[in-house]
Amino acid sequence: MHEMSIAQGMIEQIEKIAQDYDAIRVTKVEIETGILRQVIADVMQTAFQAVSEGTLAEGSLLELREVPALAECRKCKMSFEPEIDNFLCPQCHLADVKILQGDEIILKSMECDSKEKKETHEN
């Protein structure tokens, strides 16, 4: 259940950002999860709910989007989409890659209620 640990780190970052913006409540959080991290969406939702309790993000909506993997061959620099058990470059047939995408979790955006105006609006 590494989702719990990820959610914990996320909440710490979210609270800090919310405080920087003088927000009183976080209503929505948007994240991207790299497929190589093998995050299970349902488990993540449950973990997020659990760790957000008692924080500014309690009761907020978590929107999660899975990002496919992208690898770059260190030899020929070609980029390609690897399989979880196959990182061979289609050109060189060598598995020596830099992961460009798909191994990280990104906090994309947050929607918050601010101190002055309690309504939510896009900017």
Partner 1 sequence: MKINVVKRVLNANDLVAQDNRKKFKQAQVLAVNFISSPGSGKTTLLEKTIQKLLPDEKSIALVGDLQTTRDAERLAPGALQATQINTGMSCHLYANQVADALKTLPLAKADYLFIENVGNMVCPGEFDLGENLKVVLLSIPEGDDKVAKYPTIFRAADLVLITKIDLMGALSFDLKRIQDDLAKLNANVPLIQLSSLKGDGMVPWIQWLKAQRRKGIGAQAKFVTEE
Binding positions for Zn ion, rule: CB under 5 A: 73, 75-76, 78, 89, 91-92
Q: What letter would DSSP give residue 57?
A: T
**Residue numbers at the binding site for partner 1 (CB under 8 A):** 2, 5-6, 8-10, 12-13, 17, 21, 23, 31, 36, 38, 84-88, 94-96, 99, 103-114, 120-123
- Closest approach, Cβ 68 to Zn ion, in A, equals 19
Q: CA-based diameter of the chain, in Å?
A: 59
* Contacts of 115 by beta carbon, 8 Å cutoff, 6+ apart: 22, 23, 24
**Of Zn ion, partner 1, none, which one sits near residue 19, judging by CB under 5 to 8 A according to partner kind?**
none
